[in-house]
């Protein structure tokens, strides 16, 4: 094979490798983002549960002092 064809092939391989690395990085970023969103959802759920508990407690106290 002549050197020009070899050089082209090497360039193509290098480009493919770079594209694969970029795709991997993008996938990792997406995964991280999804995990963060999930964590945020869990925190919101926890907050909601705490609010519900607080509400129940207030209702209980109100009924206790009514009688």
Residues whose CB falls within 8 Å of the CB of residue 37, separated by 6 or more in sequence, listed in order: none
Domain map (residue ranges) of the chain: 22-62
Structure tokens at 42: 């869990």
pLDDT recorded at residue 66: 74
d(CA 30, CA 37): 10
Give how far the C-alpha of residue 46 lies from the chain's centroid of Cα atoms, to the nearest Å.
18
pLDDT band at 64 (very low <50, low <70, confident <90, very high): confident
Enter the pTM of the model.
0.65
pLDDT recorded at residue 23: 97
- Averaged pLDDT, 34-40: 98
pLDDT of residue 4 exceeding 80: yes
């Amino acid at each position: 094979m002549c050197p020009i064809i070899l050089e082209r092939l090497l360039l193509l391989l290098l480009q493919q490798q770079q594209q694969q690395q970029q795709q991997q990085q993008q996938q990792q970023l997406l995964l991280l983002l999804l995990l963060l969103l999930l964590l945020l959802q869990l925190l919101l759920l926890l907050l909601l549960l705490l609010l519900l508990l607080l509400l129940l407690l207030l209702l209980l106290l109100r009924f206790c002092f009514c009688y």
